[in-house]
Structure 1
Amino acid sequence: MEKSEQTITYEPPKMPDVRSVSFADIGNALKAGVSDFLKAPLFGLFFGGIFAIGGWFILASLTYLEMPWMIIPVAIGFPLIGPFVAVGLYEVSRRLAAGQPLVWKEILLVIFRQRERQLSWMAFVVLFIFWLWIYQVRLLLALFLGFQSFSSIPRFLEIITTTHEGMLFVGVGTISGAILSLFLFSATVISMPLLLDRELDFVSAMITSFKTVLKSPGPMIAWGIVVVALAILAMLPAFIGLIVILPILGHATWHLYETAIGSQDKQP
């Protein structure tokens, strides 16, 4: 008796269609982000507070380790992990757009369930690139400022702004950091809300995110600059500004995703 052989065929995931994004869409997304924050301020303050507490923890840790000079590069790289922290904000915006109730238990449960989905792999990618940023800073410090001494932030700023080695460190670090940030931004700006919204593998989500940036490079890069600039300004007063700025940026990112891809709730 012959056994029947079953042929298993692999069907690649259906890639989402990518639409063009304009500069006007960037402005509209930011306005919608402010609107969502005002509609659900407690959720925004909660998730923004988590981000601010993380910043305070880093400040305290570096101070305890007597490495205050690392506060600046860590603060610059800190926004890199923003998209992952903003997952809860995406869910709030999704529910507001779909007319669904905002229930704390349900929203927190959605976040908790992401550990079993592809979003957890994206978290690994984000944290890995953040680690690369910190390692890069340490490497450049060793190459350009290995024989310098800086035990405080003022001393560190003095060295990097008044010495030839310090200026080389700033120049090379800025270029390499910009490349790393552009890569991470392109990989996550759409993939994070996309993975929350749909069942898709993280590689396909990253490809879709890159496609979005490549299709509308001007507006998307402008959005990245806005995000970094606002995040850095929000961190200057001891990370306090992040309590408000992060929620607005998180909500705005969801609306940008809806413009570029379209959430499942709005699919025909």
Structure 2
Amino acid sequence: MTSERTDAAKQDELAPRKPALIHVNKVTSADIKASLKAGFADFLARPFMSGFFGLFYAVFGILFVWSLVWLNKIWMIIPAVVGFPLVAPFAAAGLYEMSRRLQNGESFGWAQILTVMADQRKREMGWMAFVTLFIFWVWIYQVRLWLAIILQDASFSDFDGFLNTVFFTPEGWIFLAIGTCVGMFLCAVLFSATVVAMPLLLDREIDFVTAMITSLRVVTENPIVMLSWAAIIAVTMLVSLMPAFLGLIFTLPILGHTTWHLYQRAVPPSEE
């Protein structure tokens, strides 16, 4: 009898255990305001280093659009510009680390931040980057699909012709309506899966699936507040794109720092 109990105990120890769910807090609009204030303070604490990440992102966006023009992919310019902010959470990894160190009172320089970012390729952050880029690819593909279905007879010899077709024809209006609905759905999915997942992966040694589940739970348990935050991000990023992407030099760092502080309020510290 004792032997049977011992064997049963060993089997229980060897059986895989489901990881415990990470606790999430209720957040309010006051948390967003406080996080924005803290994020702006982080930007002012290291404006040149923070601005570097925004500048890098802006230059990449400019080169991306220029390459589309050079390749004569005129139809891709608008969806690429609209979908470009989708990869911002991954681009802000260095900003999360800066906020973490500032919050803990740790000194740091370029070497420390860039080294931490490079080390993320060895962790689960790489998988989150894959998820982000996959959603971006789906966005571009579905735009190409609806272009072929709805605007199949249209000719886009230049950017002005593309704008005229999309904004001043009945077919273009249908294309915009469908594309907007699909785009909003994809943005909602990506936002929900990544809003706290990226800083969580930087902060703790966990798998990316657990991080995504935690992020989804934060959104589903705080839908109004988190959707408000999503709207703030969307409007700020789109406005920042208008002056040739240059607004991102300031807005991306502030939003990145703010996201870290909002994550800290939404997910309590680990008890380990």
TM range (shorter): over 0.9
TM-score in terms of structure 2 length = 0.93
Q: Tell me by how many angstroms 1:109 deviates.
A: 1.0
Secondary structure of the equivalent of 1:254? Answer: helix
Q: CA separation in 1, counterparts of 2:137 and 2:79?
A: 12
Give runs of aligned pairs for residues 54-73 of structure 1, distance below 5 A.
54-73=60-79
Residue in structure 2 matching 1:217, options 207, 220, 223 = 223
| Secondary structure in structure 2 of the residue aligned to 1:14 | coil
**Gap runs ≥5 in structure 2:** 1-6
What is the aligned partner in structure 1 of residue 3 from structure 2? none
Q: Which runs of 5+ in 1 are unaligned?
A: none
> Residue 164 of structure 1 is aligned with which of 170, 193, 198?
170
Paired residue for 2:113? 107
Could you list the per-position Cα deviations for residues 89-112 of structure 1 after superposition, in whole angstroms to 9, with x for gaps in the alignment?
000000011111122211111111
The equivalent residue for 1:40 is: 46
Q: Cα distance, 1:155 vs. partner?
A: 1.8
Query: Which structure has the bigger radius of gyration?
Result: 2
Report the CA distance shift for 1:107/1:262 in structure 2 as closer, same or farther (over 3 A): farther
Corresponding residue number in structure 2 for 1:254: 260
Q: Please tell me the root mean square deviation across aligned C-alpha atoms, in Å.
A: 1.6
The structural deviation recorded for 1:263 is 4.5
The 2-side partners of 1:60 and 1:151 are apart by 16
Structure 1 stretches of 4+ with a deviation exceeding 3 A read none
Contact 2:25/2:218 (CA < 8 Å) preserved in 1?
A: yes
Q: 1:240 corresponds to which residue?
A: 246
Matched residue, 1:136: 142
1:161·1:167 contact (CA, 8 Å) conserved in 2? yes
1:103-126 per-residue CA deviation (whole Å, 9 max, x = no partner) reads 221111111111111111000000
**CA positional deviation for 1:131:** 0.4
Amino acid corresponding to residue 103 of structure 1 in structure 2: G
Deviations 1:60-99 (A, max 9, x none): 1111111234211101000000000000000000001111
3-state SS, counterpart of residue 167 of structure 2 = helix
Paired residue total: 263
| 3-state secondary structure, aligned to 2:192 | helix
Give the percent of matched residue pairs that are identical in Structure 1 and Structure 2. Answer: 48
**How far, CA to CA, are the matches of 1:14 and 1:96 in structure 2?**
29
Q: SS state of the match for residue 157, structure 1?
A: helix
1:29 Cα shift?
A: 1.2
**What residue in structure 1 maps to residue 203 of structure 2?**
197
String of CA shifts for 1:188-216, please: whole Å, max 9, x gaps.
00100000000111111100000000011
1:149 matches 2:155: yes
Deviates more, 1:255-264 or 1:46-55: 255-264
Name which of structure 1's ranges 9-18 and 133-142 shifts more when overlaid on structure 2. Answer: 9-18
Q: Is the 8 A contact 1:55 1:239 kept in 2?
A: yes
